[in-house]
Amino acid sequence: DGGITQSPKYLFRKEGQNVTLSCEQNLNHDAMYWYRQDPGQGLRLIYYSQIVNDFQKGDIAEGYSVSREKKESFPLTVTSAQKNPTAFYLCASSKQVNTGELFFGEGSRLTVL
Amino acid sequence: RKEVEQDPGPFNVPEGATVAFNCTYSNSASQSFFWYRQDCRKEPKLLMSVYSSGNEDGRFTAQLNRASQYISLLIRDSKLSDSATYLCVVNPGTYKYIFGTGTRLKVLA
């Protein structure tokens, strides 16, 4: 079955550590996205990628980095520069960057201790 | 004004009731509209796209009113399993999908 796989589902991090969240899709979608969700807030866009080897900052990119070396993969690194990283992180994809619905992975819940 | 606004609720309704949610958007150039359902601590899942002429999927009906810049979702014959948060999503034809904060629905036995 086609879909998006995120790992890990739950992650605990000490302050000052970088962590990388994995996102893999087998939907053959060109566009991939990373969102952050905090309680009581809508999803906020961190980074997006229209195509391999290209990615753009979203609304809240500070303290995050991404790469898109393969069409299937769009990992997100939460760096120590991110001041409030505890959140629910959602990876999504769409056929192209501005059309069609978004398909989401199951999410990664990051807690900073 | 927020780009996409929803009443956060909660809407508490008895089983079998009909309930409707609205979502207003500020960008008149918006082109694509969606309703997603999100269960507690889970990812959003597409409920339905919203087409200009309105569309229906079983007990769910979505409408678009471009003149007043809102979309609506009607749920008939509510089930306990409909309890969730319903997210309105708008795409103005760019990379950016804009999410509302969601409307929480509780269907009561």
Give the residue from chain B lying closest to A38, CA to CA.
Answer: B101
The mean of the pLDDT values for chain A is: 93
The mean of the pLDDT values for chain B is: 94
Is residue B58 pLDDT above 90, yes or no? yes
For residue A4, which of A101, A110, A88, A90 has the smallest C-alpha distance?
A90
Q: In this predicted structure, what is the pLDDT of residue B46?
A: 95
Residues in chain B closer than 8 A to A104 (CB atoms) = 43-45
Q: What is the pLDDT of residues A17-38, one digit of tens each?
A: 999 999 999 999 999 999 999 9
Q: In this predicted structure, what is the pLDDT of residue A34?
A: 97
Is residue A98 pLDDT above 80, yes or no? no
Q: What is the pLDDT of residues B78-89, one digit of tens each?
A: 999 999 999 999
Q: What is the residue-wise DSSP string for A80-102?
A: TT-S---EEEEEEEESBTTBS--
Length of chain A: 113
A101 closest CB neighbour out of B43, B49, B94: B49
CA atoms within 13 A on the CB side of A41: 11
Instruction: Please give the share of chain B, as a percent, with pLDDT higher than 90.
Output: 83
Q: In this predicted structure, what is the pLDDT of residue A95?
A: 87
Mean pLDDT within B52-72: 94
Mean pLDDT within B10-33: 95
The C-alpha atoms of residue B73 and residue B87 are separated, in whole angstroms, by 10
**Cα-based torsion angle of the residue sequence A93, B58, B100, B63 in order, rounded to the nearest 10 degrees:** 110
CA B15 to chain centre: 19
Give the residue from chain B lying closest to A41, CA to CA.
Answer: B101
Is residue A2 pLDDT above 90, yes or no? no
Q: In this predicted structure, what is the pLDDT of residue B31?
A: 87
What tokens were used for B38? 């999100």
Is residue B33 pLDDT above 80, yes or no? yes
Identify the band that residue B61 occupies on the pLDDT scale cut at 50, 70 and 90: very high
CB pairs under 8 A between A and B: 50
For residue B108, which of B74, B85, B80, B81 has the smallest C-alpha distance?
B80
Is residue A1 pLDDT above 70, yes or no? no
